[in-house]
Amino acid sequence: MAFRDALDALLGRTRLPEAETERLFAISTAVVTLQTSLDLAPSGRGALCVKPIESSRYDAAMAEIRELLDYSCRETGSTCRLETDSYRFTWVVLEDPDFEDLVTGIHLVSQTLIEHGFGAYLLCAVFRFDGATRVYWIFNFKQGRYYPFVPGPGTTRDSAQEFRLRSLLENELPIEKEVERWYPLWGIPI
Amino acid sequence: MARWRRDRGLQVRMIVTVLLLALVYAAFIAVLTYLGAGPLLLLGLVALLLVVQYFLSDRLALSAMGARTVTEVEEPRLYETLTRLSALANMPRPQLALVDSRVPNAFATGRSPRHSVVGLTSSLVRMLTPEELEAVIAHELSHIKNRDVMVITIASFLSTVAFLIFRNWFFFGGGMQGGRGDGDRSLWFVLPLVAAVVWAASYLLIRALSRYREFSADSGSAVMTGRPSHLASALAKISGLMERVPTKDLREVEGMNAFFIVPAISGSSIFELFSSHPPVEKRIAALERIERELA
């Protein structure tokens, strides 16, 4: 893998890494610890952020996702919407009181995009938890790992709380080891 | 993963260029070795110099450009764009630097993705739409991901040696004659000639190589943003404006380039959007090709 990366660099090929969704479900079990030891309850809201690309195949994939979501929303009584943020990234926002269903829904959307060949353009999945503060767990599809994000007022973040979250959930969640990759996301629409 | 056809021709041309460069260098080393150990000592010295330059390249380039690194609080929007693109490409996020200049331009520098900086001039930021800026930033990120600073530093290493020998052959020639008694003295005066030829040939090859790296970074930007048309329109905008920039500004730019005394060093430290660049029309045509394959 490292050799292929080096070869790509030497030949000037830019390859976006594929999405890694296997460990997305780890959050379903971590939810218990979050609730019991941190008093953080799932807000029932989750979102997926994807970079829209200039292609009719992409438009077709998004149309299919919309159809799929409309259908599953009618079935389960959850809600969903599509949003475009000010950076022109698309957010698929799902609301479902059942946390496991929510994670499954997010996984379904990501899987559909991967099947259509747009897995590389999945930026992240986000789950919101509410307690004394607002806490986000962000899933980075490139690493297949989670990291905590606790936004403060403006563009500040509560790093102390984030490190505390990491130390408490280290054994249950695959947490991104390199803190430099804990990219903040301002203005998450959930 | 991006599924469109890769530009095989570009990669073949790149490999051929590197092989030719290696051939020129091999011949040069053969001549140097034939002349004795002295030149090898010189080679070691310049290698040391280049290692130092390699590790200082980011700071050197930044101060030469008059660039100021900015924080996330100062430029939240630009940083957010940089963050998202870095996350998509799965690379560490570089620092952002701004240059107060009326010439629209962008550059990337740094020896490795971990020690890299993306620089933008203030007029570029003002002139381009957010999408076009994103495309330009993605182009610079591709340079970083492809380790272009390293590639060109290594490629131009012996070229720099040849250039130095050519410029200072009296000094070096005189100093090294005592090094080995059995060396053929009559050949010493051939050395600067050989060095000149090596320098000229490698200069052209390096120029070609960096043009290919530009094309690669363009397609990298298209892959990263998924929208080749934005880079195309940014390039068209910048080149159109560059032609109309008053000469005084262009001289300012010349001044920045002149900061680097050895041409090879300036070429390796900085990847400007418009240095040793292929013609904009060709770049736009290549982007349009990607666009058609996407649709």
**ipTM score:** 0.84
Note whether B213 contacts A12, CB cutoff 8 Å: yes
A12 to chain B: which residues are within 8 Å by CB?
10-11, 14, 142, 146, 148, 212-213, 215-217, 220
Averaged over A169-182, what is the pLDDT?
89
Tell me what pLDDT residue B107 has: 85
Q: How far is CA B227 from the centre of its chain?
A: 24
The size of the A-B interface in CB pairs under 8 A is 114
Q: Which two tokens stand for residue A42?
A: 């799932």
Q: Which amino acid is at A116?
A: H
pLDDT tens digits, one per residue of A36-51? 888 888 998 999 999 9
Find, in chain B, the residue whose alpha carbon is nearest to that of A11: B11
Q: Are the C-beta atoms of A99 and A46 separated by less than 8 Å?
A: no
Angle between helical axes of B8-34 and B191-225 (0-180°, round to 10)? 160
Q: Helix, strand, or coil here: B255?
A: helix
pLDDT tens digits, one per residue of B113-158? 888 889 898 989 999 999 999 999 999 999 888 888 778 777 877 7
H-helix segments, B97-190? 122-127, 130-145, 148-155, 157-167, 169-176
Q: Is B190 on the interface with A (CB under 8 A)?
A: no
Write out the catalytic residue numbers of B: 140
Q: Which amino acid is at B178?
A: G
Q: Is B213 on the interface with A (CB under 8 A)?
A: yes
Averaged over B270-281, what is the pLDDT?
63
Q: Is B146 on the interface with A (CB under 8 A)?
A: yes
Residue with tokens 């272009």: B148
Q: Which two tokens stand for residue B103?
A: 């010439």
**Who wins on pLDDT, A60 or B173?**
A60
Residue B217, pLDDT above cutoff 60: yes
Residue with tokens 């130390």: A167
pLDDT tens digits, one per residue of A7-44? 777 777 778 888 888 899 999 989 888 888 888 889 98
Q: Is B294 on the interface with A (CB under 8 A)?
A: yes
Note whether A12 contacts B1, CB cutoff 8 Å: no
pLDDT tens digits, one per residue of B46-63? 677 677 767 776 777 777
- Rounded to whole angstroms, the Cα distance separating B73 from B252 reads 30
Tally of CB atoms within 10 A around A57: 14
**Who wins on pLDDT, B167 or A188?**
A188
- Rounded to whole angstroms, the Cα distance separating A140 from A124 reads 5
Position B4 confidence tier, pLDDT thresholds 50, 70, 90 = very low
